[in-house]
Structure 1
Amino acid sequence: MAITRWDPFRDVLVLQNRMNSLFQGYTRGQNEADALTTAAFAPPVDIYEDEHKVALKLEVPGMRQEDFDIRVENNTLTVRGERKFEKEEKEENFHRIERRYGSFYRAFTVPNTVNTENVQASYDAGVLKIELQKRAEAKPKQIKVSVGGTKPIEAPKAESRPAA
């Protein structure tokens, strides 16, 4: 009888390989419309807000302006795009490919305080920046506070009385 060393991680690797083959088989049979909803990757995004706008910054290096499709419909901002793999070098010469290629799709719910008619997008140094201006009525207003609720009352003037 041969003695076999027990490796607790072997079962985990077998399970991982089975799961990978399951998902690879699932994504092969999709049509082009389904490919948009199940994107190849989702670029990371930062979202911040100040008193004048809501801004999104998506990290998508290596893309061109015409690779993006940005739309606002029914209070939903959608950003679609595709990063293509340039075959300048032969694939067999690569040691490792870690960058993500293919299509991506991100959707964000836009708050009612945003004016969807005034949306600006810019792309610089691999970062896509989208700015949505707030409506004038949604911007904060400065309210002055009066002390005591009334105007200050001046002290009465001292009357000059004739000496007795």
Structure 2
Amino acid sequence: MTLPIRRHRPVADGRRGMWARDPLWEFDEFFNQMGSLLQSEGRMAWAPLADLTETDDAYVLEAELPGVGREDVDVQIGRRELTISGEMREQGPDGILHRRTRRTGRFEFQTALPGPVDGDTATARLNDGVLTVRLPKATDAGVTHVEIQPGE
């Protein structure tokens, strides 16, 4: 079992050698422990680390999924939403397991996209543990010009 590390911050008034406890630290620690507990019970999916960048013609998402096979990942694209879900399978140890810190089980990453995308031409590649999803921007913004006809 890994024991929590207590972290303290220096006092804001600049006194040397004096440390004060962050009043919100206990709440942060509580939520971290509850998240770990729920995750270990398989009730809650964890979210992989990811970056979303925008180029002139597309949005590009890179998510860290080391040890996950492409058959264990599902990518779903809505007009303005991206969802990546799947499962990282637990590897059986060859010997006696003394410590486990790697995440396993169900994962899900969901994000709203800054603009509409063309899901039909999107691509996804999993290479060296990094999933790269390229989402071309929609060329049609959904605005249509309607010509006004003369009245009768």
User: What's the TM-score once normalised by structure 2's chain length?
Assistant: 0.62
- Please tell me whether residue 78 in structure 1 is matched to residue 83 in structure 2: yes
Find the aligned partners of 2:125 and 2:102 in 1 and give their Cα distance: 23
Q: Which runs of 4+ in 1 moved over 6 A?
A: none
Deviation for aligned residue 1:89:
1.9
Quote the residue 2:54 is aligned against: 49
Quote the residue 1:112 is aligned against: 115
41-50 or 55-64, which moves further after superposition?
Answer: 41-50
Q: What are the within-5 Å matches in structure 2 for residues 23-62 of structure 1?
A: 23=34, 27=38, 35=43, 38-39=44-45, 41-62=46-67
Q: What are the within-5 Å matches in structure 2 for residues 142-153 of structure 1?
A: none
Structure-2 change in CA distance of 1:52 and 1:74 (3 Å): closer
Find the aligned partners of 1:134 and 1:106 in 2 and give their Cα distance: 20
Aligned length: 115
Larger Rg: 1
SS at match of 1:66: helix
Find the aligned partners of 1:124 and 1:81 in 2 and give their Cα distance: 16
Alpha-carbon displacement from aligned partner over 1:58-81 (angstroms, at most 9, x marks no partner):
001001111001111352211001
Gaps of at least 5 residues in structure 2 are 1-25, 142-152
Find the aligned partners of 1:52 and 1:103 in 2 and give their Cα distance: 32
SS at match of 1:117: helix
- Alpha-carbon RMSD: 3.3
Aligned residue type for 1:125? D
Please state which structure has a larger fraction of its residues in helix.
1
Find the aligned partners of 2:120 and 2:69 in 1 and give their Cα distance: 24
Find the aligned partners of 2:34 and 2:59 in 1 and give their Cα distance: 36
Instruction: Work out the percentage of aligned pairs sharing the same amino acid.
Output: 28
Alignment equivalent of 2:72, drawn from 67, 76, 79: 67
95-104 or 120-129, which moves further after superposition?
Answer: 95-104
Deviation for aligned residue 1:136:
3.1
